A and B are shown apart, each in its own frame.
Chain A
């Protein structure tokens, strides 16, 4: 996770560079993008940041372009006020936990006590990481051995 977080930091920086380029060449032209998830790149609301250089105090919201990363697409939205970045949020987060998702696709539920009790009634032996005699004494295998062996 740390890696991904750090990557986001650099993404914000990249988006800012991209944004500077766009605003200086294209101005506020992108029409009517909604502020939320759709995330068309370009200025979403507020004025042309290039024009706010001197005195304007209105916030400008700009979407970065969608960057493809090894974890999936990343898109960042930047809020600018007084020519400064006042906030950045991610519109598209990479499916960063694709690995976790893959692992979780193998998840199985624990048996409820009733099913387990029914199964345990017919156990022949126990597999476990019990490697010391102390563990052995507290384990079920000890009880099973006692049951199998004559008195």
Chain B
């Protein structure tokens, strides 16, 4: 996936062999996911599905899980997250990234007495209390705000660094109106799906996000304005 991934552990067990093995397991899990799902690898399951070489009977069980999750994601986002397997450009990357990182972090979660923070290309899954800065999409060397998360996930989707790469599935055109959306919540898979769907949907997505139980969001409009759901956890925005 070409993702920079960093793993940060702390606590009394942080320097032990068990932690070292768990960190190695995190990266092994991510490599396995990459081998299955990368659209850049011609031999990945996704590439083979796209070429019509792999029918459902030959799917890896993990691909089966991802396809099921993609279907649920489409339903849960009113269609704004759309990665349907029946299309020639089938690309579940928008879901796989968060899902794979959350799944990989389970190796760390299995160790008691260890706080961790896994950051994969700006998507974060944690245990323990961590302060997460939210990058300014217009100036990646600056932050917009910081949030404290305790055992939660933080996902950001947007057009920064790659141009407008999220498409509104209803228009087929690049999404407009938002340059980035950050979602905080219990699951990185769903935080990432919601953030991506919100970028596709545009600024009015804040109303939809506000109604999602357990998840809060900060939206950066292309004009630089900020929107946040009412429960957005930044102390500076208490209202």
Contacts and interface: CB of A to CB of B under 8 A. Distances in A.
B102 interface: no
The 10 closest A-B pairs by CB, nearest first: A128-B135, A129-B158, A135-B161, A119-B146, A128-B122, A136-B4, A129-B160, A123-B133, A127-B154, A106-B227
A116 B143 contact: yes
18 contacts: A103-B207, A106-B210, A106-B229, A106-B230, A109-B226, A110-B145, A111-B144, A116-B145, A119-B236, A125-B117, A125-B119, A125-B133, A126-B134, A127-B155, A129-B122, A135-B140, A138-B140, A145-B6
B92 interface: no
Interface in B108-143: 117, 119, 121-124, 130-135, 137, 140-141, 143
B204 interface: yes
Contacts of A139: 122, 135, 140-141
- Majority secondary structure of chain B interface residues (helix, strand, loop or mixed): strand
B133 A127 contact: yes
A141 B219 CA distance: 20
A132 B229 CA distance: 28
B2 interface: yes
A92 B204 CA distance: 25
A124 B137 contact: no
Counting chain A residues whose Cβ lies within 8 A of the other chain, the interface size class is: 20 to 34
B3 interface: yes
Nearest to B225: A107
Interface of A: 99, 102-103, 106-111, 115-116, 119-120, 122-136, 138-141, 145, 148
Interface string B219-233: 100001111111010
Given A128-B180, A129-B159, A132-B161, A123 B141 contact: no
Contacts of A122: 131, 146
Interface residues of B, number: 53
Nearest to B207: A102
A120 B130 contact: no
A128 to B, nearest CB: 3
A130 B141 CA distance: 11
A130 B143 contact: no
Max count, chain B CB within 10 A of own CB: residue among A110, A131, A133, A139: A131
Given A110-B144, A119-B145, A126 B4 contact: no
B162 A132 contact: yes
Contacts of B228: 106, 108
Max count, chain B CB within 10 A of own CB: residue among A127, A132, A136: A127
A122 B8 CA distance: 15
Contacts of A124: 8, 117, 130-132
B2 A133 contact: yes
Contacts of A129: 122, 135, 137, 156-162, 180
Contact of A108 (B135, B146, B237): B237
